Chains A and B, each alone.
Chain A
Amino acid sequence: MEQLLQQVASGLANGAIYALLALALVMIFVSTNHINFAQGEMAMFSAFVCWQLLNWGYPFWVALPATMLFSFIIGVLIERIILRPLHTAPLLSVVVVFIGLLAIFHSLAGAIWTHTVKPFPSPFPNFTFAGSGIIGPHQIGMIVVAVGMLALLFCFFRFTPLGLAMRAAALNATSARLVGINVDWMLALGWGLAATVGSVAGVLVAPVVYLEPNMMAGILLYGFAGALVGGISSPGGAVAGGFIVGVLENMVAYLGNMLERATGFYLIGNGEKLTVALIIVITVLTLKPSGLFGRVTVKRV
Chain B
Amino acid sequence: MTKRTRRDVLVGGSAIAAASVVGFPAIAQGKKYDDGATDTTIKIGHSGPYSGNASAYGNIGRTIEATFKMVNDNGGINGRKIEFITYDDGYSPPKTVEMVRKLVEQDKVLFLFNTLGTPPNTAIHRYMNQKKVPQLFVATGASKWGQPKEFPWTMGWQPDYVTEGAIYAKHILATVKEPKIGILMQNDDYGKDYYNGFIQGLGDKKNLIAQLATYEVTDPTVDSQMIQLKNTGANVFFNITTPKFAAQAIKKAAEIDWKPAHYLNNVSSSFGSVFRPAGIPASQGVMLALYRKDANDAQFASAPDVVAFKAFMAKYMASFDIKDDTHNYGYSVTHTLIEVLKKCGDELTRDNVMKQSASLKGYEAPLLLPGIKINTSATDFYPLQSVQMARVKGESFEMFGEILSSESA
Contacts and interface: CB of A to CB of B under 8 A. Distances in A.
Direct contact between A and B judged by beta carbons closer than 8 A: yes
Nearest to A256: B228
Contact of B273 (A14, A107, A117): A117
Nearest to B325: A116
B225 A270 contact: yes
A59 B148 CA distance: 58
Interface in A199-220: 205, 208-210, 212-214, 217-219
A34 to B, nearest CB: 24
Nearest to B277: A119
Contacts of B39: none
A99 B12 CA distance: 38
A218 B218 contact: yes
Interface string A120-157: 00000000000011001000000000000000000000
B266 interface: no
Interface stretch (B53-61, B124-132, B298-306, B372-380): B53-61
Contacts, number: 111
A214 B228 contact: no
A225 B191 CA distance: 28
Contact of B255 (A17, A114, A136, A214): A136
Chain B contact-residue range equals: 35 or more
B224 A222 contact: no
Contacts of A209: 220-221, 244, 248
A116 B326 CA distance: 9
A270 B218 CA distance: 12
Contact of B228 (A2, A3, A119, A212): A3
A14 B223 contact: yes
B204 interface: no
A275 to B, nearest CB: 10
A80 interface: no
B214 interface: yes
Contacts of A11: 224
A270 B213 contact: yes
A257 B224 CA distance: 11
A270 B214 contact: yes
A119 B272 CA distance: 9
A212 B56 contact: yes
Contacts of A214: 53, 55-56
B136 to A, nearest CB: 24
Given A3-B227, A270-B214, A114 B277 contact: no
Q: Which 4 A-B pairs have the closest CB atoms?
A: A119-B277, A218-B218, A116-B324, A117-B273
Given A6-B227, A116-B324, A274-B219, 9 more contacts: A114-B59, A114-B324, A116-B326, A117-B244, A119-B276, A208-B221, A254-B224, A270-B219, A273-B224
7 contacts: A3-B227, A7-B228, A116-B324, A117-B277, A132-B255, A218-B217, A254-B228
Interface of B: 51, 53, 55-56, 58-59, 187, 211, 213-221, 223-225, 227-228, 231, 243-244, 247-248, 255-257, 272-274, 276-277, 319-321, 323-324, 326
